[in-house]
Chain A
Amino acid sequence: MLDTPVRHREGPNSRTGRAFRARLVAAVLVLLSLGLVTVYFRESSDGGLHTAQRIGVSVLMPFEVAGERVARPFRDAWGYTSDLLGAKSDNEDLREENEALRRQVIQDQTAARENDRLRELLGYVSGPEFPEGYHPVATQVVVRPPSPFRQEVVVAAGRSDGIRVDDPVVTDEGLVGIVTEVAPGGAKVRLITDQEVAVSAVVLSSNAAGMVTHGATANSLILDRVGKDALVNEKDLVVTAGWRTSNFESSYPRGIAIGTVKSVGQTDVDLYKRIQITPLVDFDSLSSVIVLTGDPDRERAGGATPPAKQKPKKRP
């Protein structure tokens, strides 16, 4: 299939020379790739390669956005077919959830009235809470990197929209992740299901604090570092803790929903409970997100934030 009719003979020297040239070219390109990887990881985010990549992303972004628009009907058709297969089992779960939510609404309304009364009586002044002080930037997800080792997406809004590294990213369902790279026309968002992301969180019902990290499979999460004496039940809601000390603060605002407790377990030898969480956000069909820009604490600190999971905050 590969060969075509033979027209001439080739001498062994010519073949050897060609093979040597091919090996040489491959070796040079492999070394060049290794050099690029090494420099990329060693340089700072303002380095030459990072800057070149940002320029490249800006150049490619219009094509990617156009491609995303053209591809959307096909993707939707694929998503519809996939979702249809899981719809039957989801139906029963949703009925149960609907019932639970109805009860929750009644409880919430009661709590809200009580809260209003307390505010009036005690002159309670609430602290800075999400989403106060943040500016939402709604944008679409244009790229999902192919590697199963990384849980990241690229969105079509960047520095020109006010997005900066460490800005939290949410949807109306809950927490999505955090911005790790920013170009003028796009930004990379590391999802909370990524191996290198950890989020301080609390169980809403009991206030048990822990750290949400990636689970055993791609779209699962676990709540780690929760003491054995803490009260955690299945279906409890887990939200961001949004802690702060005099020098440090969490990158995520307080009170953003992360997921519900799927299972709770513990053994005699473990120091902490084993809590599995089902994320509220469907990361497989993530098409648009909201980036929370203009972190008020960071604005006060002068905008200096290193790209760490828990960022240090400079206060006067």
Chain B
Amino acid sequence: MTALDVGKAAGLLLLGVLVQVSILEWIEVGEGRPDAVLVLVVALSLLRGPTFGAVAGFGAGLVLDIAIFEPLGLTSLLLTLAGYWSGRFGEVTTRSSAHPPLIAVALATVGVAFGSAILHFMLGLTIPASEFFLGVLLPTLALNMLLAYPLYGLCRRVLPPERRARREVSPAV
């Protein structure tokens, strides 16, 4: 991880936040909207590991909270966890795994949606379960998965994968 990597990632995330608030927030299917910032955080975490992912998630969440006037720390919390977890997922995923970005984005979307629901429930804000699952979660999941490969490809081009160590695996005999 170099300073150049950090700069590139910061630029990508800032651009992602601007695209998110100016374009993607207006694209609504049901009650769900695509979350480019989450997909970017997941993609960066897969490419650079959990530490980078957690920091990227925290930073992106903080900028997003400021941009949309949300309580500071709310989105940071969710994206930090999403970034860390995606980084871990990337570390344990091998080359033979099928579609890691797609799986990571899907799981992160579900995790962030549930996390957001729990946090908002603690703040006294609720929506009906049917609306949450059918109106919010499913459309958001579909839209994020549509974004997964293009944004992962973009991140991979800007931040090429680092050389990674082979994990020692003892043969199961």
Contacts and interface: CB of A to CB of B under 8 A. Distances in A.
Interface of A: 1-10, 12, 15, 18-19, 21-23, 25-26, 29-30, 32-38, 40-41, 49, 52-53, 56-57, 60, 63-64, 67-68, 70-71, 74-75, 78-79, 142-150, 152, 154, 181, 186, 188, 195-196, 216-218, 284
Interface in B130-162: 131-132, 135-136, 161-162
B17 to A, nearest CB: 8
Nearest to B84: A26
Contact of B73 (A2, A40, A71, A149): A40
Contacts of A29: 54-55, 57-58, 76, 80
A33 B165 contact: no
A26 B80 contact: yes
B69 A71 contact: no
Interface residues of B, number: 70
A196 B166 CA distance: 53
A57 B23 contact: no
**For chain A, what secondary structure do more than half of its interface residues adopt (helix, strand, loop), or is it mixed?**
helix
**For chain B, what secondary structure do more than half of its interface residues adopt (helix, strand, loop), or is it mixed?**
helix
Interface in B28-84: 28, 31-33, 35, 46-47, 49-51, 54-55, 57-58, 61, 63, 65-74, 76-77, 80-81, 84
Contact of B26 (A7, A22, A144, A150): A144
Given A12-B168, A26-B84, A144 B69 contact: no
Contacts of A146: 20, 25, 33, 35, 68
Contacts of B120: 147, 149-150
Contacts of A218: 31, 127, 131, 135
B23 A40 contact: no
Contacts of A57: 66-67, 69
Nearest to A150: B125
Contacts of A40: 71-73
A147 B51 contact: no
3 closest cross-chain pairs (CB), A and B: A36-B73, A67-B22, A10-B165
A75 B35 CA distance: 16
Given A1-B100, A26-B84, A64-B21, A6 B26 contact: no
Given A2-B95, A26-B50, 4 more contacts: A7-B163, A37-B74, A218-B31, A218-B127
Interface in B93-150: 93-95, 97, 99-101, 116-117, 120, 124-128, 131-132, 135-136
A218 to B, nearest CB: 6
B81 to A, nearest CB: 7
Contacts of A26: 50-51, 54, 80-81, 84
B163 A4 contact: yes
B19 interface: yes
A33 B73 contact: yes
Interface of B: 18-23, 25-28, 31-33, 35, 46-47, 49-51, 54-55, 57-58, 61, 63, 65-74, 76-77, 80-81, 84, 87-88, 90, 93-95, 97, 99-101, 116-117, 120, 124-128, 131-132, 135-136, 161-168
B36 to A, nearest CB: 10
A148 B95 contact: no
Contacts of B99: 1
Contacts of B164: 3-4, 6
A2 B50 CA distance: 14
B51 A21 contact: yes
Contacts of B80: 26, 29-30, 33
11 contacts: A1-B95, A3-B94, A3-B164, A8-B163, A22-B87, A29-B57, A40-B72, A143-B22, A145-B70, A149-B120, A195-B124
Contacts of B71: 37, 40-41
A40 B69 CA distance: 12
Given A33-B61, A195-B125, A144 B22 contact: no
Contacts of A79: 26
B81 A154 contact: no
A12 B166 CA distance: 11
A147 to B, nearest CB: 6
